[in-house]
Chains A and B, each alone.
Chain A
Amino acid sequence: MNCRNVVERLDEFVDGTLTAAERGTVALHLESCPSCREAEAGVRALAARGAALPQAIEPAHDLWPGIAARIQAGTVTQGRFGAARHSWRHHLGALAAAAAALVVVSSVVTTLIVARRDATTASSRAGRTGLAAGVTAASLELAQARGTYEAARRQLLAALEARRSSLSPATLKVLDENVRIIDEAVRQMESALARDPGNQELPSLLVTAYRQEIDMLQRAAGLPARG
């Protein structure tokens, strides 16, 4: 069994779900391979960190009054976006939180990833085969995702534009600011990817950002008009 085969089985090795024969083979390889032992230690450390996370995290504020009100009102519907009982202020809070989370995650991760691109680009480029220079399976997938994202974004922005007059100035201000923030986060990640097209992590982060922006715009398009 070579290093690649072993690395593919490390999760199950650490979790104890390999067959006895496979486990023995992996263990034998680990005895003689420092780099695979290091990878194994990394998987074990991560699993341990996950298991050590606190099981309980109290919400920032008391949710009971809202729960009790829904129970007493006999509310059956789920409470997600679109339910009429939520105020427009509540919806905007969710949008702002989504935008802020996206910006924090994308900017920090992008910075860290780009900072170490020199170390990873050489190895990733060496692994590419069967495609024209500069074209990877990831770049093709990303191009498809970007096309879908841009079309959906245009539609949703047009839908929002059509109902601007039904939304309050305060609502519009928050919406416009969130769109600007998310667009900037996406632009930064696309820019980073243009500088480092062989980067392994940025495409998946970008697709996640695309999805988050579409999700936010859909929520915004469904905001109730202010009464």
Chain B
Amino acid sequence: MSTNRDDERSLVRAAQAGDLGSFERLYRSTVGLVHALCLRMSGNTALAEELTQDVFVRAWQKLATFRGESAFATWLTRLTVNVVLSERRDRRRREAHITLSDDLEPFAGPVPDARPGAALDLERAIASLPPQARHVFVLHDVQGWEHAEIAHHTGLAVGTCKAHLHRARRLLREVLSS
């Protein structure tokens, strides 16, 4: 289901006034976008569905703050990224006694020669990336975000985002060219 911009504004206004039916129509038109982002950023099907639900519950709660300055899908995408990253931060706090480092840079190897063929599906390869590299790759290469925007949402420095993207691309090329 898709909505044009005027329909979208009407639905948002009605939903902001408390009409759950209108919010359901907004959900139907955008759930694929939200779920795809949750799935790629989390790398986990079950978690992605939970996160998708969280996003729409949060969207309902924050709908009054949406002023229509961007498309609803754009606002929802930013909210989705915040929900996914927030869930990960919360989980890491709960697991604070586990000190496995997310920084796998010491494991980095040389950039391999490019090889033809794709033995692994790109989606599965993305899911196998370390979390921060996966987040940056998905936001930059799939969603088309700039490093500055990724840095703003993730709390990372721009240079760190670039390093994660470099690492993600290198690992993906390794796997996909095998």
Partners in one complex: yes
A214 contacts which of B51, B53, B100, B101 (Cβ < 8 Å)? B100
Partner of A141, one of B27, B107, B128: B107
Interface size on B, residues (CB 8 A): 76
List B contacts of A12 (CB < 8 A).
Answer: 162
Query: Roughly how many angstroms separate A32 CA and B178 CA in the complex, as a whole number?
Result: 27
Output the least CB separation between B88 and chain A (Å). Answer: 10
0/1 string, B77-94, CB within 8 A of A gives 1: 000000100110011001
Checking B43, B56, B111, B147 against A101 with a beta-carbon cut-off of 8 angstroms, the contacting residue is: B43
CB distance B122 to A49 under 8 Å? yes
- A197 lies within 8 A of chain B by Cβ: no
Greatest chain B CB density within 10 A among A12, A55, A141 is at: A55
Bound-complex Cα distance A56 to B61 (A): 23
B47 touches A53 (CB 8 A): no
Q: Does A24 contact B (CB under 8 A)?
A: no
Residues of A within 8 A of B98 (CB): 148, 152, 211, 214
A17 touches B147 (CB 8 A): yes
Q: Which residues on A sit within 8 Å (CB–CB) of B113? A: 35, 38-39
Q: Bits for A48-78, please: 1 = Cβ < 8 Å to B, else 0.
A: 0111011111111001101110111001101
Q: Is the CB of A138 within 8 A of B178?
A: no
- Complex contact A138–B106 (CB within 8 A): yes
Chain B residue nearest to A96 in the complex (CB): B46
Q: Give the CA-CA distance A76 to B173 in the complex, in Å.
A: 41
Considering only CB atoms, which chain B residue lies closest to A149 in the complex?
A: B100
Measured CB to CB, the nearest residue on chain A to B77 is A55
Of all chain B residues, the one with the shortest Cβ separation from A82 is B94
Shortest CB-to-CB span from B103 to chain A, Å, is: 9
Given contacts A105-B127, A148-B98, contact A80 B50 (CB under 8 A): yes
How many Å lie between the Cα of A94 and that of B39 in the bound state?
Answer: 13
Name the CB-closest residue of A to B114.
A42
User: Is residue B120 contacting chain A, with contact meaning CB distance below 8 A?
Assistant: yes
Number of A interface residues in the complex (CB < 8 A): 77
Q: How far is the CA of A17 from the CA of B140 in the complex (A)?
A: 13
Complex CA–CA separation, A218 to B35 (angstroms): 25
A55–B76 Cα distance when bound, in Å, is: 14
Q: How far is the CB of B136 from chain A (nearest CB, A)?
A: 11
Q: Is A154 an interface residue (CB 8 A)?
A: no
Pair A70/B57 contact, Cβ less than 8 Å: yes
A56 to B73, CA, bound (A): 11
Q: Known: A56-B32, A112-B120, A152-B98. Contact between A204 and B107, CB under 8 A? A: yes
Tell whether, in the assembled complex, residue A109 and residue B128 are in contact, meaning their CB atoms are under 8 Å apart: yes
Residues of A within 8 A of B (CB): 7-8, 11-12, 15, 17, 35, 38-39, 41-43, 45-47, 49-51, 53-60, 63-64, 66-68, 70-72, 75-76, 78-81, 93-94, 97-98, 101, 104-105, 108-109, 112-113, 115-116, 120, 123-124, 127, 137-138, 141-142, 145, 148-149, 152, 200-201, 203-205, 207-208, 210-211, 214-215, 218
- A-B contacts, 24 of them at CB < 8 A, read A7-B111, A8-B166, A11-B166, A15-B140, A57-B35, A57-B36, A59-B49, A59-B52, A63-B53, A71-B57, A72-B20, A93-B46, A97-B44, A98-B44, A101-B43, A101-B127, A105-B128, A112-B120, A152-B97, A152-B98, A204-B104, A210-B100, A211-B100, A215-B95
